[in-house]
Structure 1
Amino acid sequence: MKRIIVLLQILALIGCGTAKIQQQTTLNPNNGPQGVKGRIATAPEEVTGNDVTTNKANTQFTSPEDIKAIMQFLASDEMKGRDSGSEEIEKAADFIKQVFVDNGIAPYFESYRDTLRNFDKTAFNVVGYIQGSDTRLKDEYVILGAHYDHIGMVSPDNGDAIANGANDNASGTAMVLELARYFGKNKNNKRSIIFALFSAEEKGLMGSKHLASKLSDKDLDLYTTLNFEMVGVPMVDKNHLLYLTGFKLSNLAEISNKYAGEQLVGFLPKAKEFNLFKRSDNYPFHEAFRVPSQTYSTFDFTNYGYYHKAGDENSEMDFTHMANVANKLIPMVTGIVNANNKEIKYN
């Protein structure tokens, strides 16, 4: 398939305010978006063992421009809402593969594409991995996941019928890709990491169900699954940056905050009320492995009115917020993948 990639005009973002930048995309046959590859990664102070202390350096690996480069490809009008089984989502898969290739992330299977067996159209997860550096821990795995599909075309709203899926879930995909770029450059993970971008989440978690079953059949030693969903805009009047679905089911929030060195993750009552723990791609891994598998999000039911609508566009995203989330995830994930023992446990 002919590969297309976006040539972006990166705008300078001034100050630390909200970066809502109107979508301007032009298709061009290059091998990667500006801002996604080519920069030197800086590792935070090493996080080892199960100590309460974590990196004290202010991690500044991801910039708003890096996030914008990813988002303006995945959520562009040309992608037509990334419906599973469509030509456009194949382009998204090629984009994700190229980020993996550029940053030294190997395919977990024979190919980066993991074709779904439980979906009637041809659809596939994109799965890469990086082997752990520790001889004792490298056979334990942490999955970092997000779904990259959306719902395609919808009933027109003011003439716009494209459900771009910027917040849902190009934003979560951007988090996984930035973590892949970071660990691919630094190779400072003791456990092995699987980077999984799921298809057909919008069809009933089909991509994650397929992969969870496939990995379970391989008897994968899975430590935990960290999933990212709808992180494109900040929460309103909260004292934490992210919330965790299934908050009280495990000690993952406590462990996350320990390695972040701050109150990064908290509880959202609405997440429990609507049982979001069972409504995203973490859940099939909980079902298949019975290990802590939860989702991080910033969608608080008051801060975004475009869920599954044509208005879910890059112009509504806060790229400065998203870069901040990515930078704070780096020490958190580093601590989890490098802990001396499996300290994350269900209550």
Structure 2
Amino acid sequence: MKKASIFISALMILFSCKEYTKANAQESKKLKETTEEITFNPATIKKHLYTLASDEMEGRATGTPGIEKAAQYIENEFKKIGLTYFNSNTSYRQNFEHNGIKMFNVMGVLEGKSKKDEFVIVSAHYDHLEMKKDGDGDRIYNGANDDASGVTGVIALAEYFKKKGNNERSILFVCFTAEEMGLIGSKYFGKGIDASKFVAGINLELIGKEPKTGPKTAWLTGFERSDFGKIIQKNLEGTGYKLFPDPYPKYNLFFRSDNASLARLGVPSHTFSTTPIDIDPDYHKVTDEAETLDVNVLTETIKAVAIGTTSIINGKDTPTRVTIE
């Protein structure tokens, strides 16, 4: 009788192991299929990047003709994709004035299905610095990495999720103005929303260079302040891409990009980045040109954001509210 019990137990363990292995194999296959079907065209990514960081945009400083050109480009892309206006807006612009300067955030919505009243915001800032007033040589701060790369990501993700068509939650794609002046655009936006309806904030900043964490990696600001980053890490398992906590805690980066304006309202809003900022020679320099970026890094990072945030977009996961000390 004892031998029979041992034999039955062994069979049960063997069956369980087989079922576990089978389940893992199915999950791995599903992940692989999901990863393979997510494609972003590097040529299109390059087009957005090089247009937004071109000399024609004259640095995209807030309140200048250059930023107007950038806004028009973003609006045209949102229109082609088929995004709708946010709330009661009659255009993609959220107009306001600050210190006598007329400003505007550019926003478009992809309405959700079963949870359309819950929003995920995907953002980047489309402004940069003024041109040098005088001097020889290049005087244009093109801001390719900071943050034409992020805006490129916003546009590409909008197109991807529109084609995918399975977002249970609504997605608000926003290109903020006046980030370089102190997060002015995102602060204004935050004053006019019901923060409880925003379940996550995905901000993209400086995502066009390989980080010191290695190829096919990115890092996330404020990683310890919610479980947002852990959700992303889980979704990226098996894809060959990894997400790390911010390796630059001394720079206080969590509060230095537009995610902070929403995070202060309790929204689990974090910034993705790839740039090794401690050794980057182009940050806030006229040398921040499109040619200094790696389009493949930019494309892979956008793809990773798409995969990593899918369970939040489709309503399966809800990040914990962010903690602000």
1:322 is matched with 298
Q: 1:110 aligns with which of 59, 78, 90?
A: 90
Separation in 2 of the partners of 1:161 and 1:111? 33
Separation in 2 of the partners of 1:281 and 1:273? 18
1:88 is matched with 66
- The RMSD of aligned alpha carbons is 2.1
Change (3 A) 1:180 1:316: same
Change (3 A) 1:239 1:252: farther
2:18 is matched with none
Q: How far did 1:186 drift?
A: 2.3
Give the partner amino acid of 2:92.
Y
Question: What SS does the corresponding residue of 2:102 show, helix, strand or coil?
Answer: coil
Residues 87-117 of structure 1: per-residue CA shift (max 9 Å, x gap): 1111111111111111111111221010134
Give the partner amino acid of 2:176.
F
Q: 1:199 aligned to 2:177?
A: yes
Q: 2:262 aligns with which of 285, 292, 308?
A: 285
Q: 1:176 aligned to 2:176?
A: no
Written as runs of structure 1 = structure 2, the 5 A alignment for 1:266-281 is 266-270=244-248, 272-281=249-258
2:230 is matched with 254
Q: How far did 1:157 drift?
A: 7.4
Separation in 2 of the partners of 1:114 and 1:255? 31
Separation in 2 of the partners of 1:239 and 1:267? 15
Q: How far did 1:172 drift?
A: 0.5
Residues 248-299 of structure 1: per-residue CA shift (max 9 Å, x gap): 11111110111222552102331x11100000000010113x1211101012
Which has the larger displacement, 310-319 or 108-117?
108-117
Q: How far did 1:247 drift?
A: 1.4
Work out whether residues 104 and 177 of structure 2, in 8 Å CA contact, stay in contact via their aligned partners in 1: yes
TM-score by length of 1: 0.79
Work out whether residues 226 and 319 of structure 2, in 8 Å CA contact, stay in contact via their aligned partners in 1: no
Q: 1:128 aligned to 2:105?
A: no
Separation in 1 of the partners of 2:131 and 2:29? 47
Question: What SS does the corresponding residue of 1:269 show, helix, strand or coil?
Answer: coil
Q: 1:187 aligned to 2:165?
A: yes
2:53 is matched with 75
Work out whether residues 224 and 293 of structure 1, in 8 Å CA contact, stay in contact via their aligned partners in 2: yes
1:46 is matched with none
Work out whether residues 196 and 267 of structure 2, in 8 Å CA contact, stay in contact via their aligned partners in 1: no
Give the partner amino acid of 2:261.
P
% identity of equivalent residues:
36
Give the partner amino acid of 1:244.
L
Q: 1:295 aligned to 2:271?
A: yes
Which has the larger displacement, 322-331 or 124-133?
322-331
Work out whether residues 164 and 313 of structure 1, in 8 Å CA contact, stay in contact via their aligned partners in 2: yes
Paired residues, what number?
291
Listed as ranges, the gaps of 5+ residues in structure 2 are 1-26
Give the partner amino acid of 1:232.
G
Higher relative contact order (CA 8 A, sep 6+): 1
Work out whether residues 116 and 168 of structure 2, in 8 Å CA contact, stay in contact via their aligned partners in 1: yes
Written as runs of structure 1 = structure 2, the 5 A alignment for 1:16-165 is 55-57=31-33, 58-108=36-86, 109-134=89-114, 137-154=115-132, 159-165=137-143
Work out whether residues 52 and 258 of structure 1, in 8 Å CA contact, stay in contact via their aligned partners in 2: no
Give the partner amino acid of 1:181.
E
Residues 116-143 of structure 1: per-residue CA shift (max 9 Å, x gap): 3435211100010011011xx2211000
TM-score by length of 2: 0.84
Question: What SS does the corresponding residue of 1:160 show, helix, strand or coil?
Answer: coil
Listed as ranges, the gaps of 5+ residues in structure 1 are 1-50
Change (3 A) 1:232 1:341: closer
Separation in 1 of the partners of 2:145 and 2:179? 14
More helix by percentage: 2
